[in-house]
Amino acid sequence: MRGLAAGNWKMNGTGESLSEIEALLAAHPTPGCEVLICPPATLLARLASMVHGTALKVGGQDCHAAASGAHTGDISAPMLAEAGADYVILGHSERRANHAESDAVVAAKVSAAQAAGLKAIVCVGETEAERDGGRTLDIITTQIEGSLPEGTDPACLVIAYEPVWAIGTGRTPTTDQIAEVHAALRAQLADRFGTDRIALLYGGSVKPSNAAEIFAIPHVNGALVGGASLKAADFGGIIEALSAA
């Protein structure tokens, strides 16, 4: 399974930021893993045009469950696809918390994304209180069960485990903690879909200094990277670590 280094720019980046993509392409024209950037929607079409014909893929950060309609400010999956997206991130903890997105809402978005030809990166993760309460695996398995609708195509699915308490904090779970969750995810997905070819990403303060250690963990097939994906030098170090894993 080819590794995937996915960069989530979140609500960061203007046109000037595309110079970082130019630097990334110059430094890594033929990376040993798949590389994805999910910029803010305002940059998506420009970035897709810029990287056309290169190894770099482009994705959206969210989509609406409906293909069109009276949903001011939202973006549909067909719109993302038309703009040049290959992937879309769904169910990120910031969407679940800040926009009260339930597993059912995420599941509807997964159906919409795959119907539009996009690969869905579905995020799961526990809060610090849930981790401290020993509920991590229960939370993760429940999120997976509820967030993947009937008819989900495993060939167009990626799962990202992002412990909420580690996102943007500089804190990282131990390798044993990451391994436990990824092993449970692999078993659950294999049982449901009959395949072990669904990529499992780890996300949560991934940076060049810890990437190699994280990618050595069984069933970690890549990373969903936040802040470190904004700079070519930092994201490049993560790409190099994954390419060598």
- Write down the catalytic residue from 34, 94, 101, 162: 162
- Indicate the pairing of strand 56-60 with strand 34-38: parallel
Q: Tell me, what's the pLDDT at 168?
A: 77
Give me the residue label for tokens 């670590």. Answer: 241
Q: Is 52 among the residues known to form the active site?
A: no
List pLDDT tens digits, range 170-180.
Answer: 887 999 999 99
Per-residue pLDDT at 171: 80
| Among candidate residues 234, 227, 231, 166, the one with its CA nearest the CA of residue 202 | 166
Domains belonging to the chain, first-starting first, are 4-244 (3.20.20.70)
Per-residue confidence at 192, pLDDT binned at 50, 70, 90? Answer: very high
Q: How far, in Å, CA of 184 to CA of 174, rounded? A: 16
- The predicted structure's pLDDT at residue 64: 98
pLDDT band at 188 (very low <50, low <70, confident <90, very high): very high
Q: Determine which one of 28, 64, 92, 182 is catalytic.
A: 92
Phi, psi (rounded to 5 degrees) for 187: -65, -45
Sign of CA dihedral 36, 9, 122, 243: positive
Q: Known catalytic residue: 130?
A: no
Is residue 236 within 8 A of residue 200, CB to CB? The reply is no
